A = this chain, B = another copy of it.
Amino acid sequence: MSINDLFKALSDENRRKILDLLRNGDMTAGDIAHHFEISKAGISQHLSILKNAELVYAVKRGQFVYYSLNATVFQEVLKWIIQFNSNKLEEK
């Protein structure tokens, strides 16, 4: 996982929508796909990118794969962003 993979993963609207959905709790790949117009395969590819960026966990249970948020990694992005806002505060 790199900060670049992270920002790249977050740069797609559909992937951000997936993350938003997962805020309400774990979901299977299929459940996630139902919320989109694009194909299940397309969603699977987006999930793979999110998984590689470690923004989500994937756990297989039976024939389903459950996806959940990994809040830890969001903190990496938070740290990056905060650098810019803290400067603003110092100026005041």
B13→A4 contact, CB < 8 A: yes
Complex copy number for this chain? 2
A82→B71 contact, CB < 8 A: no
- Point out the residue from B7, B16, B75, B84 that lies within 8 Å of A69, measured CB to CB: B84
Q: CA–CA, A90 to B11, complex, Å?
A: 27
Q: CA–CA, A71 to B90, complex, Å?
A: 12
Q: A7-B11, A7-B16, A10-B7 are in contact. Are A71 and B85 (CB under 8 A)?
A: yes
Q: Which residues of A contact B (CB under 8 A)?
A: 4, 7-8, 10-11, 13, 16, 19, 23, 69, 71-72, 74-75, 77-78, 80-85, 87-88
20 more CB-based (< 8 A) A-B contacts, given A23-B83, A74-B85: A7-B7, A7-B10, A7-B11, A7-B16, A8-B11, A10-B11, A11-B11, A16-B80, A23-B84, A69-B84, A69-B87, A71-B84, A71-B85, A71-B88, A72-B88, A77-B81, A78-B78, A78-B82, A78-B85, A81-B81
